[in-house]
Amino acid sequence: MTTEIQTRKARVLGVEGLIKRFGEHTVVDGVSFHIEAGETYGLLGPNGAGKTTIISMVAGLIPADQGSIELAGFAMTPTTTKAKAHIGLVPQELAIYPCLSARENLLFFGRLQGLSGQDLKKRTGEVLDLLGLGDRAREQTKKFSGGMKRRLNIGIGLLHRPTLLILDEPTVGVDPQSRNSILESVEGLATEGMAVLYTTHYMEEAERLCDRIAIIDEGRIQAEGTRNQLVELTGGVDRIELRGSGNTTATATALRQLPGVQHVDGGGSGLTLTVLNGPGLLAPIVAEAGRMGMTLTSVEIVRPDLESVFLHLTGKALRD
């Protein structure tokens, strides 16, 4: 029999009541969260939400005004070394040498991180493979695409096998193809069992990569959970788009009587419904539309996403 203790994962990072002020301005205002081993945790929020300030405290780069941070059992402060040894921080700006090859960059930064000899050589090979840079390893990085440089930047953060890897908006300003290769690399980290703290203002990235997501705005966590838990906060209202012809007015009247259907709008070429549990109601809606003589040409369920959640919680769009 599995007990709760056996199934509970190890806590890697615990953040409690973090507060940071710059002058009069409180930019991080009571932030608490934790990350477990092997988990990818996202901070999703718009520009100026406080993401970089939070991770700068988590990485021990700046002190918190209040609150505590514990990493791998050690308290994190700017003066501690034990907790810092467990962190890999990938900054938003590239920090690689253009005249060195990818391998030489990794060897150089690996030595700075205290690796040497066979261990450094072996780890460099592993990281190059993990990031899909193995066959270009001996080229000067100035010949690399933007996406390859960013992947190498991530590799440098990974070399010393950190317990927690922190990535600060690693895809900002890169083209869609490079972005995809970076996301694939981050997905690969889960296979290494690494805990990842990932900041972004792209909801698609948070949805794709993160096991749990904190929606952050104005220095506060507005809500936290899995993607599905967050979406439930909107009340789980789906939209169903029915396209087709027939007596749409009578169909609309009939559909309004179905339990779970909140609104029915439209006419002419189709109807738009807002419903609770779209997938569950789809079959009865289609059947009722058929019974009322409507000929359907297409049916689509549009489910709420993290954008809807952000709007619901803050009254603002995540993107301008």
Ligand X SMILES: Nc1ncnc2c1ncn2[C@@H]1O[C@H](COP(=O)(O)OP(=O)(O)OP(=O)(O)O)[C@@H](O)[C@H]1O
Residue 201 binds what, of Mg ion, ligand X, none (CB under 5 to 8 Å, by partner type)? ligand X
Closer CB to Mg ion, residue 54 or residue 131? Answer: 54
DSSP string, 89-154: EE-SS----TTSBHHHHHHHHHHHTT--HHHHHHHHHHHHHHTT-GGGTTSBGGGS-HHHHHHHHH
User: How many residues bind to Mg ion according to rule CB under 5 A?
Assistant: 2
Q: What burial letters (b/e) apply to 283-292, b meaning 16+ CB within 10 Å?
A: eebeebbeeb
Binding of residue 272 to Mg ion (CB under 5 A) = no
Looking at beta carbons only, is 27 or 85 nearer to Mg ion?
A: 27
Strand 66-71 to strand 11-22: parallel, antiparallel, or no bridges (unpaired)?
A: antiparallel
Q: Measured from the CB atom, is 159 or 210 closer to Mg ion?
A: 210
Least Å distance, CB 319 to ligand X, is 12
| Contacting range for ligand X; rule: CB under 6 A; set: 49-57, 76-84, 234-242, 288-296 | 49-57
Q: Say if residues 31 and 18 touch (Cβ distance below 8 Å).
A: yes
User: Which residues share a beta bridge with 215?
Assistant: 44, 223
- The contact mask relative to ligand X for 283-312 (x = CB under 6 A, - = no) is ------------------------------
Could you say which of 15, 31, 45, 165 contacts ligand X (CB under 6 A)?
A: 45
Question: What is the rounded distance in angstroms from the CA atom of residue 260 to the CA atom of residue 304?
Answer: 16
The residue to which tokens 């040497």 are assigned: 116
Provide the token pair at 218: 């104005």
- Say whether residue 53 binds ligand X (CB under 6 A): yes
Of the pair 51, 150, the CB lying nearest ligand X is at: 51
Q: Which of 11, 14, 26, 27 binds ligand X (CB under 6 A)?
A: 27
Q: Which helix (H) or strand (E) holds 195?
A: strand 195-200
Partner whose footprint covers residue 123, from ligand X, Mg ion, none (CB < 5 to 8 Å by kind): none
Q: For residue 248, what is the enclosing H or E element?
A: helix 248-256
Per-residue x/- track, 20-59, Mg ion (CB under 5 A): -------------------------------xx-------
Question: Which residues are at the interface with ligand X (CB under 6 A)?
Answer: 22, 27, 45, 47-53, 201
